[in-house]
Structure 1
Amino acid sequence: MTLRVGLVTSEFPPDLGGVETYSWQLARELGARRELEVTVYAPPAARGLAPPQGVTIRPVLTSCMELDWARLSGEPIDVWHALSAAHCWLAQKDRPTVVSVHGNDFLVPYPATMRPALAMPALWRLRGFAWKEFEPLWRRATAQMLRRALPRCGAVIANSRYTADVLQALVPGGGDRIEVAGVGVDAAFFDVARMPGHGRPRLLTVCRLSEARKNVELVLRALGALKERFDFEYVVAGDGALREGLERLAAELGLGARVRFAGRVSDAELRQLYAMADLFVLTASVIPASHEGFGIVYLEAAASGVPSLAARLAGAVEAVAEGESGYFVETPSVEAIEAALALFLSGRIRFDVEDCRSFARRFTWARVADVAMKSYRQTLSMPASMP
């Protein structure tokens, strides 16, 4: 008998990011399973996307709980899978619900506001006056929703042990329903043919340029301090509100000829950037409202044969194997990043391409889909009256 699965996500291509990648890849993996009928409920931006085989995309979400439920309630679905904590409220509607959690999705309030007039896509990434003024209220509202909804979910799938532990601290109880499935990496990255440089080390960062905690500024300042001692090229792929200021900083530091901001890139362009890179650099900080729950980009780099420099914080500790697929700075500061980059640029620390790829092979979307399948069966076997 075919099981009808509804994947609900506010983060989906063509938008870019870790959760967007998770949503697409899991949908693709589940869609390949003959026993499932998979429908993805996504924002309007997904309209026009060619869906993976075996998957139907319904671009109907509004970022408003009331309106979304009006559109979802009549759908012929056997089990719902909220692909982030934003939609775990589905469990409160007495529908069999599984939820995937990533970290930021339950640390900050997503725009499930109950009021159509307040429906604002991507509100959870808002910064500035409104964020500072209302953050305590929004954070309390998020925690309250989670405490009500998560115990009613049949299963919770975490992208890392770190994420699972943070969730347990925020919403005690229900630990027996949390399973760490990790993430996967697209097989296409393993096929990346290395493109060796001509003696100039190539550094690469891939991230949204909308969060200061990604610390691209610190990397630029560290490279500014190293520019007289080492030759290098640094490429930053990604876009966002911080890009213009970072470009100005690179020029002020005298790095204009060595730093290139590539902006938003296609999948093919991204793989080419990895093919040309010698070191992936993402030394992200942890702040109360945001952290790296895992960091799929570290796996993409490793699968491409590229080691990573990361901060020994949050889920990055699970995404990078020290000495095998990369190394760490203990604290993301200019001085620490400068010292770590000097180790690599001087050749005092080296990594093997196949070691990096071997580590990345431990993470597969098939495993995440297996955990999801187990969770669906577990949820459907529960009594109708959930706690």
Structure 2
Amino acid sequence: MKVCFLTHDIDPKSGWGRYSGEIIKGLERRGIEADILVEEKLTSGSEKAVLKTNLPKFFGFLHMALKVRRLAKRCEIIHAFDAWPYGVIAALANIGLSKKLIINGVGTYSVLPLDSRKTRWILSWAYRRADSVPCISNFTMEEIKKRINLNTLEVITLGVDFEKFNRTEGYKDNLINNRNTIISVGAIKRRKGYHVSLQVISKINEKYPDIKYYIVGNKTEDPLYAKELENIINKHSLSDNVEFFENINDSKLCELYDEANVFMLPSINVEGAFEGFGLVYLEANAKGVPVIGTLGCGAEDAIKDGYSGFLVPQNNIEETAQAVLKILDDKEFALRMSRNAILWAKSNSWDTVIDKYINIYKKLEGDN
């Protein structure tokens, strides 16, 4: 079976690229032939950068759809890894081809265009043309349901490369050596809640003055927000506690996870934008690191509250700090949660995710 995939990129250094790249790679291992169409070619792989145009939005969509259409003729299924813009482009490309169409509901751009009169009509049309709309979290699915009635929705959460990130020992050593390190991984933008986490670090610093906080993400994505974070660091005298890491590879990322006691990413919903899931919570869990995320977003599916970590209210510095201190203050509890985190990550491997996509493909193939 040949599938035409539409996505932004498959670069594992970005959350977007890791999500789509891991699914495609897993499907290829199961015998699926992939034609990968991307907006930006950021790896040395076989993907084709055709999802870009200089034309105005609607004409640009038509232009890209024509390019996709030529390539999709050779495939049985067209699979778009987000609704906007790739799901719309895929649906336009599929007019007259009648290929089976899958549009993933991911996060912000699977929902927010449904709130605009300018874009609601065409995204609603694309969703209704899809044979399957798998969403990466229950939160994303429910947000779509609030805006459009579909009977093709289901939830297939994201996974983790367990073998790559897993460690069986090491977390205990951090506790024995009284190493207190917190890590966050994600794009430097307001939705990730770094302005909240820095204020949490300021509170924890009162009890643990040796606390280290690693932020892994590129400041170039939102320079104004990065500047705001620097101001918070200076205001609370945290320059000795906080360290930024940019453009690192997975080997270095694993090293940083190995040093951490707690993973914290207190995502917030900002003007319709929200955390669709949070792959990084599972990666940290695979390393045995308990995680802290927020309620009211896709992290509710990524974190098993009280087991693999904690879910706290958004924008709540006090409750987030209390959750961190529960782990730092009680080494036996921290070690127990670390073991749980590993089990949780193992139960959410990419192999489990790929099984579910294979089942969708087989069902759609049987419907032909």
User: Which TM-score band applies after superposition, normalised by the shorter structure?
Assistant: 0.7 to 0.9
Shift in CA distance, 321/74, structure 1 to aligned 2, threshold 3 Å:
same
Structure 2: distance between partners of 1:272 and 1:192 = 14
In the alignment, structure 1 residue 207 sits paired with structure 2 residue 183: no
Residue 358 of structure 1: aligned partner = 343
Residue 189 of structure 1: aligned partner = 165
Structure 2: distance between partners of 1:218 and 1:179 = 32
Which of 286, 291, 311 is the matching residue for 2:269?
286
In the alignment, structure 1 residue 233 sits paired with structure 2 residue 212: yes
Matched to 1:65, the amino acid is F
Residue 91 of structure 1: aligned partner = 91
Residue 26 of structure 1: aligned partner = 23
Higher helix share: 2
Secondary structure of 1:44's aligned partner: coil
Residue 5 of structure 1: aligned partner = 3
Which of 166, 169, 174 is the matching residue for 2:146?
169
Residue 198 of structure 2: aligned partner = 220
TM score, norm. by length of structure 1: 0.82
Deviation at 1:235, TM superposition (A): 0.6
Is the CA contact 2:12–2:21 (under 8 Å) kept in the aligned structure 1?
no
Q: Percent identity?
A: 23
Secondary structure of 2:238's aligned partner: coil
* Unaligned ranges ≥5, structure 1: 110-134
Residue 71 of structure 1: aligned partner = 67
Structure 2: distance between partners of 1:293 and 1:318 = 9
Structure 2: distance between partners of 1:248 and 1:295 = 27
Q: How many correspondences in the alignment?
A: 343
Residue 110 of structure 2: aligned partner = 106
Deviation at 1:338, TM superposition (A): 2.8
Shift in CA distance, 345/33, structure 1 to aligned 2, threshold 3 Å:
closer
Residue 56 of structure 2: aligned partner = none
Matched to 1:358, the amino acid is L
Which of 14, 17, 20 is the matching residue for 1:16?
14
Residue 267 of structure 1: aligned partner = 250
Deviates further, 193-202 or 161-170: 193-202
Deviation at 1:304, TM superposition (A): 0.7
TM score, norm. by length of structure 2: 0.86
Which of 140, 143, 146 is the matching residue for 2:117?
140
Deviation at 1:193, TM superposition (A): 5.5
In the alignment, structure 1 residue 152 sits paired with structure 2 residue 121: no
Matched to 1:66, the amino acid is L
Secondary structure of 1:102's aligned partner: coil
Matched to 1:250, the amino acid is I
Residue 328 of structure 1: aligned partner = 311
Deviations 1:79-124 (A, max 9, x none): 1100111222223433321111112121234xxxxxxxxxxxxxxx
Deviates further, 361-370 or 304-313: 361-370
Matched to 2:180, the amino acid is P
Matched to 1:376, the amino acid is Y
Deviations 1:223-272 (A, max 9, x none): 22332322311111001322233123212211111111112321111111
Residue 120 of structure 1: aligned partner = none
Matched to 1:148, the amino acid is W
Matched to 1:108, the amino acid is L
Shift in CA distance, 140/265, structure 1 to aligned 2, threshold 3 Å:
farther
Secondary structure of 2:214's aligned partner: strand
Secondary structure of 1:74's aligned partner: helix
Secondary structure of 1:45's aligned partner: coil
Q: Write out aligned runs for 1:236-247 (5 A).
A: 236-240=215-219, 241=222, 242-247=225-230
Structure 2: distance between partners of 1:201 and 1:216 = 19
